[in-house]
Structure 1
Amino acid sequence: MTELDPLFVERCIEALLFAAAEPLSDVDLAKRLPEGADIAAGIDALRVRYEGRGVELACVAGRWRFQTAADLSFLMTEEREEPRRLSKAAQETLAIVAYHQPVTRAEIEAVRGVQASRGTIDVLLELGLIRMRGRRRTPGRPVTFGTTDAFMEHYGLATLADLPGIAEMKAAGLLEMNLPPGFTVPDPLGLRAGEEEDPLDFDDGETPEFAQDFLGEPEKA
Structure 2
Amino acid sequence: MNIEDADAGRTNQAVDDNRLREAERIAEALVFASAQPVSEGFIAERLPKGMDVRSIMLRLREDYASRGVNLVQVDDAWAFRTAADLSFVIRRDENEVKKLSRAALEVLAIIAYHQPVTRAEIEDIRGVQTSRGTLDVLMEAGWVRFRGRRRTPGRPVTLGTTRDFLDHFGLEEIRDLPGLEELKGAGLLSGRIPANFNMPSPLMSDELTEDEDPITQMDLEELGLLAPGGASED
- 2:95 and 2:45 map into 1 onto residues whose CA distance is 40
Residues 10 and 169 of structure 1, relative CA distance in 2, 3 Å threshold:
same
Which residues in structure 2 correspond to 1:86-97 (within 5 Å)?
Answer: 86-97=100-111
Give the Cα separation in 1 of the matches to 2:39 and 2:95.
33
Structure with higher Rg: it is 2
Query: Structure 1: which 5+ runs fail to align?
Result: 213-221
Aligned partner of 1:211 among 223, 227, 230: 223
Q: For residue 160 of structure 2, give the secondary structure of its aligned residue in structure 1.
A: strand
Contact 2:72 2:79 in 1 (8 A): yes
Confirm or deny: 8 A CA contact 1:99 1:185 kept in the other structure: no
In structure 2, how many angstroms separate the alpha carbons of the residues matched to 1:195 and 1:78? Answer: 30
- The structural deviation recorded for 1:84 is 2.4
TM-score, scaled to structure 2: 0.76
Secondary structure of the structure 1 residue equivalent to 2:99: coil
Structure 2, unpaired ranges of 5+: 1-14, 225-234
Distance in 1, matches of 2:223 and 2:54, equals: 42
- Pairing 1:174-185 to 2, within 5 Å after superposition: 174-176=188-190
- Residue of structure 1 aligned with 2:199, choices 182, 186, 189: 186
Q: What is the one-letter code of the residue matched to 1:59? A: Q
Q: Report the CA distance between 1:127 and its aligned residue.
A: 2.1
Aligned partner letter, 1:94 = L
Determine the C-alpha separation between the residues in 2 that align with 1:207 and 1:95.
Answer: 25
Percent same amino acid among aligned pairs? 49
| Residues 114-153 of structure 1: per-residue CA shift (max 9 Å, x gap) | 1111211122222221111111111221111111111111
For 1:66 and 1:82, how far apart are their aligned partners in 2?
18
- Cα RMSD of the aligned pairs, angstroms, is 2.8
SS of aligned partner of 1:174 = coil
- Equivalent in the alignment of 2:83: 69
2:113 corresponds to which residue? Answer: 99
Alpha-carbon offset, residue 195 of structure 1: 8.1
Runs of 4+ in 1 over 4 A off after TM superposition: 77-83, 207-210
Q: Which amino acid is the alignment partner of residue 133 of structure 2?
A: G
Alpha carbons of 1:79 and 1:192: their partners in 2 closer, same or farther (altered >3 Å)? Answer: closer
CA distance in 1, matches of 2:95, 2:205: 41
- Measure, in 2, the Cα distance between the counterparts of 1:147 and 1:186: 17
Q: Is the CA contact (8 Å cut-off) linking 1:13 and 1:29 kept in structure 2? A: yes
